[in-house]
Amino acid sequence: MDKSMIIGVIGAGTMGSGIAQVAAQAGHTCFLYDTRPDSVDKALTGMAKAMDKLVEKGKFTAEEAAAIKARIKPAKDLKDLSDCVLVIEAIIEDLVVKKKLFADLEAIVGAETVLATNTSSLSVTAIAAACNKPERVIGLHFFNPAPILPLVEVVPGLQTAHGSVSACTDLMRAWGKVPVVCKDTPGFIVNRVARPFYGESIRIFEEGIADMRTIDRAMKEIGGFKMGPFELMDLIGNDINFTVTRTVWESFFFDPRYKPSFTQQRQVEAGWLGKKTGRGYYAYDSDGNSGTPGTAELDAVLCRTIVDRVLVMLINEAVDALHLRVATREDIELAMTKGVNYPKGLLKWADETGLPNVLKRLEKLQSVYGEDRYRPSPLLRRMVETGSTFY
């Protein structure tokens, strides 16, 4: 990696400040710009605190931390980014505003500068269309917190030059990240494949099959997930999680597989956003605790039913993403294990569960509910017919 490369980051909020820190830690000079100068000041203060903690933990020496902090330069004007080789945009999630920014940027940077967007839900292709050289635009989707979570989804738009994809994946590796390449489709890999973790768990709750605590405990204690779906939604924020679900559903032209739930919508309407507001699916005290998860013996049959139902839906999403060439088998597995910490890759899990079992459970759900939501992926059917496995 050429450390002399100057990087620009636009938007000094949650994501932009984290991305700037990652770039500076990797040795780059990084210009950080925000329309609100106080956002940049706040980001620099936050980053300084984060660096101090890393020094305490022994990750960096005090000298290294000071050098990293010095490499992040507040930009007063967009024009300060004129020498950047790569600019990563992490501003408000609004297509019109992002398109204007990309068009403005193109008039400032050099002809070879790569322009990346950290959008979670907009089309990279649509953002690129604002540029005279749309081939220079790419998606680099980091996860929150960017300095900690290793996954980066590298998303070429329809117009993106091939060379930018390999250059960006190489650069992300050099930054210590785990890049995966995925098609410019709604939710990319993680935000698409993970939908049933929340949606199907809510359905199970809505039908009165189990309460939230039981579902959370089943998914952790039997499923091996680090967090249960309800506690995770409370941590992410029900407003954010609901918006992602709704955006993915709308972007898929209202495919019932991604349909949002009234249960979560009501949480948002009540202002019960989760841990950050002290109330979500659970109530939190001032230390952020929501009481004990309970130690009562779980009903093993019930818990198996819960885990199996959510799991086959997750597997079906992963299989369908592969079917539709959203990403390779390896990248789908990496995305779910490195981006959202799943205990294992869903396609590996599919093999272990047995593809005929996965298909049978989905068909049963589809026949009981009569809903397209449960339709098995054509790839799953084909693989069962031919007796094949993913590994």
Ligand X SMILES: NC(=O)c1ccc[n+]([C@@H]2O[C@H](COP(=O)([O-])OP(=O)(O)OC[C@H]3O[C@@H](n4cnc5c(N)ncnc54)[C@H](O)[C@@H]3O)[C@@H](O)[C@H]2O)c1
Calculate the alpha carbon distances from 55 to 45, 52, 58 in Å. Answer: 15, 5, 5
Nearer to ligand X, 44 or 359 (CB): 44
Both structure tokens of 57: 């933990």
How many whole angstroms separate alpha carbon 266 and alpha carbon 95? 27
**Using rule CB under 6 A, residue 39 touches ligand X:** yes
Q: Which one of residues 52, 64, 93, 363 is an interface residue with ligand X (CB under 6 A)?
A: 93
Report in angstroms how near the CB of residue 12 gets to ligand X at its nearest. Answer: 5
Q: Are 2 and 30 in contact (CB under 8 A)?
A: no
- Dihedral pair phi/psi, residue 32, rounded to 5°: -115, 120
Nearer to ligand X, 1 or 97 (CB): 97
Decide: residue 325, CB within 10 A, 0-12 exposed, 13-18 middle, 19+ buried.
exposed
Which residue type occupies 2? D
Report in angstroms how near the CB of residue 89 gets to ligand X at its nearest. Answer: 8
Q: Which one of residues 90, 127, 318, 335 is an interface residue with ligand X (CB under 6 A)?
A: 90
Residue number with the shortest CB distance to ligand X? 13
Is 141 one of the catalytic residues?
Answer: yes
Nearer to ligand X, 181 or 222 (CB): 181
**Using rule CB under 6 A, residue 36 touches ligand X:** yes
Q: Which one of residues 6, 10, 105, 315 is an interface residue with ligand X (CB under 6 A)?
A: 10
Which helix or strand (DSSP H or E) is residue 380 part of? helix 378-386
Neighbouring-strand partners of residue 178: 151
Contacts with ligand X, 359-378, as mask; x by CB under 6 A:
--------------------
- DSSP code string of 56-99: HTTSS-HHHHHHHHHHEEE-SSGGGGTT-SEEEE---S-HHHHH
- DSSP code string of 275-343: GGGTBSSSB--TTS-------SPP-HHHHHHHHHHHHHHHHHHHHHHHHTTSS-HHHHHHIIIIIS--S
Nearer to ligand X, 119 or 169 (CB): 119
Longest distance between any two alpha carbons in the chain, whole Å: 64
Omega before 356 cis (within 30°)? no
Q: Which of these is catalytic: 118, 191, 238, 316?
A: 191
How many whole angstroms separate alpha carbon 51 and alpha carbon 266? 39
Report in angstroms how near the CB of residue 33 gets to ligand X at its nearest. Answer: 6
Nearer to ligand X, 40 or 332 (CB): 40
Q: Which of these is catalytic: 120, 123, 241, 261?
A: 120
Residues of this chain, 109-168, that bind ligand X according to CB under 6 A:
118-120, 141-142, 144
Neighbouring-strand partners of residue 153: 141, 180
Report in angstroms how near the CB of residue 350 gets to ligand X at its nearest. Answer: 27
Q: Which one of residues 97, 103, 270, 300 is an interface residue with ligand X (CB under 6 A)?
A: 97
Nearer to ligand X, 118 or 377 (CB): 118
**Using rule CB under 6 A, residue 353 touches ligand X:** no
Is 93 one of the catalytic residues?
Answer: no
**Using rule CB under 6 A, residue 14 touches ligand X:** yes
Is 17 one of the catalytic residues?
Answer: no
User: Which residues form the catalytic set?
Assistant: 120, 141, 153, 191
Binding footprint of ligand X on the chain (CB under 6 A):
10-16, 34-36, 39, 90-93, 97, 101, 118-120, 141-142, 144
